[in-house]
Amino acid sequence: TSSPGPSSTPATRPASASSTSWRTCSASPRAPAATSGSPAARYFPSKYRREIGRLNGELEGVVLESIRRSREIADEGRTTSTYGRGLLAMLLAEMEKKKEKGAGDDGKFSYDTRLVIDECKTFFFAGHETSALLLTWTLMLLATHPEWQDKARAEVSQVCGDDPPSADQLSKLTVLQMIIHETLRLYPPATLLPRMAFEDIRLGDLHLPRGLSVWIPVLAIHHDESIWGADAHEFHPERFAAGRRSSAGAGRFLPFAAGPRNCVGQAYALFEAKVVLAMLLANFRFTISDDYRHAPVNVLTLRPKYGVPVHLRPLRP
């Protein structure tokens, strides 16, 4: 049985659009050099770029349909908030506030709609592959470290019994949380964080002029022996026993970035990972396949080049 990953048979149209778009965009490093090496590359017609355009149109159609449904909910008064709940609702409510205050004419309002669409596309991509990869790498590490798999399973059994985990129980799964954090340290989904200096900054003897692009090497920081010790490249979840902040310190553990521009979905991602892993641990024992080849590759995200085949054995007949 293969480890979790993007579904090839999505159950819904939004999932289909985002999954297909992600797979196509992820192939961008393999695009022909003649169309990818210059600023004018976007204007060269090609089968690849036509497919990107088609998928982008389909994905934007999905977002516009979600906006339409949210507005219907608001018009019908089916929720106490203006547009319902969730990130899309917050964006639409903020856009409506600007419109009511006369922040711009119809053209400005249209521009705000474009911003909402672009933000929703970011939510699709940022939350799709990254969550799947977190589960994939965690399963690989648990399958190759059975002692930690047993510890996590015992904790799930003690806290949750035979029932699916509740929100309150998830907060008590501290061993599982340590394992997830160590997985994110070793295999952060995003290996680089782009930032820009909005003013001149001086860091010691280093001068960063305004407008300079800065790339934060997350993977290098997470594997730095001067920060994590001589075993920085090894799987040791106990290093997070005192909690993420106490164990790592500020600016050293960055799977979701840091500061006011950190990942808006990090709490949901950790919640999702705990639920899935707790259910798997409660029902299966997993071991790594002899066919597994360890080859992490960085293509937008840090993924296993040859997948992660694992064997699942049911714990109950």
Model confidence pLDDT, tens digit, residues 230-256: 999 999 999 999 877 666 667 899 998
Per-residue confidence (pLDDT) for residue 102, from 0 to 100? 62
pLDDT in tens, 193-229: 989 999 999 989 999 999 999 999 999 999 999 999 9
**In the chain, pLDDT over 90 holds for what percent of residues?**
46
| Whole-number Å distance between alpha carbons of 173 and 244 | 14
Range name among 78-87, 134-143, 172-181, 307-316 with the lowest pLDDT average: 78-87
Per-residue confidence (pLDDT) for residue 234, from 0 to 100? 97
Residues classed as catalytic = 130, 256, 263
| Whole-number Å distance between alpha carbons of 255 and 216 | 11
| Whole-number Å distance between alpha carbons of 248 and 182 | 11
Q: Taking residues 8-26, report their average pLDDT.
A: 44
Q: Which CATH class is domain 13-314?
A: mainly alpha
| 187 DSSP assignment | S
What is the residue whose two structure tokens read 């003897």? 205
Query: Which positions make up the binding site for heme?
Result: 263
- What sign does the dihedral 134-137-142-143 (CA atoms) show? positive
Q: Residue 144: pLDDT band by 50, 70, 90 thresholds?
A: very high
Q: Residue 80: pLDDT band by 50, 70, 90 thresholds?
A: very low
What is the residue whose two structure tokens read 């050099």? 33
pTM of the full predicted structure? 0.74
Per-residue confidence (pLDDT) for residue 105, from 0 to 100? 47
Q: Taking residues 163-176, report their average pLDDT.
A: 94
Query: Which positions make up the binding site?
Result: 263
More confident residue, 134 or 251: 134
Q: Tokens in use for 209?
A: 């002029």
Does residue 36 register a pLDDT over 70? no
Does residue 312 register a pLDDT over 80? yes
Element counts in the chain: helices (H) and strands (E) = 12, 8
Per-residue confidence (pLDDT) for residue 78, from 0 to 100? 56
More confident residue, 292 or 75: 292
Range name among 19-33, 180-194, 219-233, 248-262 with the lowest pLDDT average: 19-33
More confident residue, 101 or 303: 303
